[in-house]
Amino acid sequence: MTRPTLITNAKIVDPAKSKVEDGGVLFSDVILDVGKIAGVPEGAEVVDADGACVAPGLIDMRVVIGEPGAEHKETFKSAGRAAAAGGVTTLVMMPNTAPIIDDQSLVDFVSRRAPDRAGGVHILPAAALTKGLEGQLMTEIGLLSEAGAVLFTNGDRPIVDSRVLRRALSYATAFDVLVAHRPEDPFLADGGVMHEGELAARMGLPGIPAAAETIMLERDLALAELTGGRLLVDMLSTARALPALRAAKQRGVNVVASVNVHHLVLNENDVAGYRTFAKLSPPLRSEDDRVALSEALSSGLIDVVVSGHDPRPAEDKRLPFEEAAFGAVGLETLLPGVLTLHHANGAPLTTLLRALTLRPAEILKLPQGRLAKGAPADLMIFDPGAPFRLDSDALKSKSNNSPFDEKVLQGAVKRTFASGKLIFSA
């Protein structure tokens, strides 16, 4: 057993509760006690949080890592370092590696290799939903799930053939696995590089209409309803999509939804000046969309926030806007990004943290994400108010394509623990 650690003098942000309380956390490799803790157990190491917050380590359900195949973008090691610095203790790795993770042996590769390299951060593989992400033949969902794939996704390549998605969702019910799908009509989005609207017109750039999202979302919800499959709507970006999601949830469709942290903080104006680092997929939408998404997060309509971490080297990003790659790194800015909703709108910390800890844990059926006795001691200490100016060159990720570069953010991670071990200290 790991030597016990006692965090004292902390504000406890328990995502299962609605209020922040003063107290401490005692843990070894699992949490032993939470709240008012009298005395220091013998042999325990004491960490004085000095009034900072303690919360479960974050669970990021959507992270791209370049290993295997694109190690110049990100490796298990660099992703682990970036995650630990961002307070992320568990992350789900997307299958769009080279080779694509669509076979048992590749899931096995990630499960064996990542724990040695990732410095304590739990890296969980997502498997491709279709062979080669081609949208034609479903993968061996049962065998991949037994091998340890935590969810199935076609990544950034939506499945056009409705029958293929229907069969996959239906087949997946036999194994009770989660199927994530990006709601974007690839034909409507084809060639578009930013949100379609007045700004795109003025900038002379081809747009991606909000309808690209609503059309695909309505289809996906209909298929989830038809099959009873467990669907994760992957990264919503528009206000228009929300009524359909709400109606489906009310009808009892087995659906949960995520939003990319950047869509809660930024809007289309952040690409003005042709800033390719804010070129994302789905694109940053209007301010009305951003506000609607943050409200949907607060109300629980949107279940989880993801970083959408997508490392891209400068040579893919420092290009004319239309040619530049989509995507942004996010592991290290996930927490401060979400905290902007606390500072600007007064959203409660427990509500915001729930979407980064407890909800993802429930959806992925993980024991993490809780401040409860017996839960794995994945924890972070953070100061929600600490301001800093982001220097993207100082990011621990191998790529530094952050749209938050030079922006002032609030919320600094001071320490991160995974399975009771200190894996990051500011």
DSSP 110-151: HHHHHHHHSTT-EEEE-EESBGGG-SSSB--HHHHHHHT---
User: Per-residue x/- mask for other proteins, residues 167 to 186, rule CB under 8 A?
Assistant: x--xx-xx------------
Of the listed pieces 132-140, 252-260, 282-290, 318-326, which binds other proteins according to CB under 8 A?
132-140
Q: How far apart are CA 80 and CA 208, in angstroms?
A: 33
Q: Could you tell me the smallest distance in angstroms from the CB atom of residue 152 to other proteins?
A: 11
Nearer to other proteins, 98 or 226 (CB): 226
Q: Could you tell me the smallest distance in angstroms from the CB atom of residue 223 to other proteins?
A: 13
Interaction between residue 154 and other proteins (CB under 8 A): no
Of the listed pieces 139-147, 337-345, 361-369, 372-380, which binds other proteins according to CB under 8 A?
139-147
Q: Determine which residue in the list 164, 232, 284, 292 makes contact with other proteins, applying CB under 8 A.
A: 164
Place of tokens 């081809």: 206
Nearer to other proteins, 102 or 310 (CB): 102
Of the listed pieces 135-143, 178-186, 274-282, 411-419, which binds other proteins according to CB under 8 A?
135-143
Q: Determine which residue in the list 51, 112, 132, 137 makes contact with other proteins, applying CB under 8 A.
A: 137
Q: How far apart are CA 336 and CA 365, in angstroms?
A: 26
Q: Could you tell me the smallest distance in angstroms from the CB atom of residue 144 to other proteins?
A: 9
Q: Determine which residue in the list 29, 71, 108, 140 makes contact with other proteins, applying CB under 8 A.
A: 140
* Chain residues 186-245 in contact with other proteins, contact rule CB under 8 A: 227
Interaction between residue 274 and other proteins (CB under 8 A): no
Q: Could you tell me the smallest distance in angstroms from the CB atom of residue 226 to other proteins?
A: 10
Of the listed pieces 133-141, 342-350, 366-374, 394-402, which binds other proteins according to CB under 8 A?
133-141
Of the listed pieces 161-169, 178-186, 246-254, 355-363, which binds other proteins according to CB under 8 A?
161-169
* Chain residues 53-112 in contact with other proteins, contact rule CB under 8 A: none
Residue 357 CB contacts under 8 Å (≥ 6 apart), including other chains: 15, 55, 56, 57, 58, 59, 368, 369, 370
Q: Could you tell me the smallest distance in angstroms from the CB atom of residue 12 to other proteins?
A: 41
Q: Determine which residue in the list 143, 211, 215, 301 makes contact with other proteins, applying CB under 8 A.
A: 143
User: By the 8 A CB rule, do 236 and 249 touch?
Assistant: no
Interaction between residue 426 and other proteins (CB under 8 A): no
Q: How far apart are CA 163 and CA 7, in angstroms?
A: 53
Q: How many CB atoms lie within 10 A of CB 125?
A: 24
Interaction between residue 365 and other proteins (CB under 8 A): no
Q: How many residues bind other proteins (CB under 8 A)?
A: 16
Nearer to other proteins, 164 or 266 (CB): 164
Q: Could you tell me the smallest distance in angstroms from the CB atom of residue 154 to other proteins?
A: 14
DSSP 243-281: HHHHHHHHTT--EEEEEETHHHH--GGGGTTT-GGG--S
Nearer to other proteins, 163 or 202 (CB): 163
Nearer to other proteins, 165 or 200 (CB): 165
Q: Could you tell me the smallest distance in angstroms from the CB atom of residue 162 to other proteins?
A: 11
Interaction between residue 134 and other proteins (CB under 8 A): no
318-324: list long-range contacts, CB under 8 Å, 24+ apart: 318/276, 319/276, 320/274, 321/193, 321/194, 321/203, 321/205, 321/271, 321/274, 321/276, 321/279, 322/193, 322/205, 322/206, 324/276, 324/279
Residue 67 gets which letter from DSSP?
Answer: T
How would you class 252 by CB atoms within 10 Å of its CB: exposed for 0-12, middle for 13-18, buried for 19 or more? exposed
Interaction between residue 294 and other proteins (CB under 8 A): no
Query: What are the structure tokens assigned to 82, written together?
Result: 């970036």
Count H helices, E strands: the chain? 14, 19
Query: What are the structure tokens assigned to 410, written together?
Result: 């609030």
Nearer to other proteins, 164 or 409 (CB): 164
Residue 364 CA to its chain's centroid (Å): 12
Q: Could you tell me the smallest distance in angstroms from the CB atom of residue 180 to other proteins?
A: 18
Q: How far apart are CA 131 and CA 388, in angstroms?
A: 44
- Which residues of this protein are in contact with other proteins, per CB under 8 A? 136-143, 163-164, 167, 170-171, 173-174, 227
